[in-house]
Structure 1
């Protein structure tokens, strides 16, 4: 078993005095908490890009994934609309999180509230090559519902 604690430096620029550098709550966490700097109320089925007041410099060869927080999702129906969002190594703008309210009640986001998690992940580049045929597989072209749960093709 590999018990490596691999780490990489991600430079963070605070764009406002109230911005907070993402931090891991517990030693074994894979996601660092990201907090809001503004107040906004999300109505049911509404989404909005929430400001965090930070920008980052992601090292080449990595991405940062923006993921929902399980507590917000399970208690209030709040999720990240484009989950996981991706912050590429070349992006230097402010991180904003598109939150979506799937719950039945209005949800108030307040400054300092944990709204998402950031997960740093290595990026593997594919070499896309056009071919006339693909190799055979048992699943073949069966897509959604291929295990018998849903049949979207009729």
Structure 2
């Protein structure tokens, strides 16, 4: 699908690494320092402080890394921004707000929020691949207010309620189970 793009970065347009790749690689671009935000991170400048050479995210830190891509995504679509699996497993660096959404009516430059959950500093240089972009169709929700919902096998089961290895149990059930276990242990010891 064709997506209109203005590339104000020093990088080439995002590309797919292989013919089977679902996401294309987004690259960091520091040609403009206007839209960089960071927490627990630091910027390395060139000698005359006119060009950003890198941004380093400390462990526990986060930064908004610009791509300087401006797009007109077709209506009815979004672009999802996702973590790169290699950065996630090897360095503990993830896209926050993942997947991030770029709406069809957004016209500002794309930015990627990266967070360092690793134990070492993570340095990002000009042109580094920082995330993946995936185009998705979006269906608008047509809310229908009702008095009752269909009954299902799951019912009101909460998070983890379908996990057979660790079923959801209440604090009361845990206490009752502990009381029963203690009673059984006391009767065995007599």
Same fold (TM over 0.5): yes
Equivalent runs, 1:113-124 vs 2, <5 Å: 113-124=128-139
Partners of 1:20 and 1:54 within 8 A in 2: no
Distance 1:146 1:41 in 2: 40
Distance 1:108 1:79 in 2: 13
- Cα distance, 1:58–1:153 mapped onto 2, change above 3 Å: farther
Distance 1:96 1:61 in 2: 21
Q: What's 1:136 paired with?
A: 151
Partners of 1:144 and 1:150 within 8 A in 2: no
With the length of structure 2 as denominator, give the TM-score of the two structures.
0.73
Which among 65, 73, 78 is matched to residue 58 of structure 1? 73
Partners of 1:144 and 1:152 within 8 A in 2: no
Partners of 2:154 and 2:162 within 8 A in 1: no
1:14 aligns with 2:7: yes
- Cα distance, 1:52–1:151 mapped onto 2, change above 3 Å: same
SS at match of 1:117: strand
Relative contact order (C-alpha < 8 Å, sep 6+): which is higher?
1
Gaps of 5+ in 2: 31-53, 172-190
Q: Over aligned residue pairs, what C-alpha RMSD do you find?
A: 1.4
With the length of structure 1 as denominator, give the TM-score of the two structures.
0.89
Partners of 1:36 and 1:114 within 8 A in 2: yes
Q: Deviations over 1:20-78 (max 9, x none)?
A: 31111111111000000132100011111001111111011111000000010011001
* Structure ID, larger Rg: 2
Distance 1:138 1:132 in 2: 19
Partners of 2:27 and 2:127 within 8 A in 1: yes
Number of aligned residue pairs? 146
Equivalent runs, 1:92-131 vs 2, <5 Å: 92-131=107-146
Q: Which has the higher helix share?
A: 2
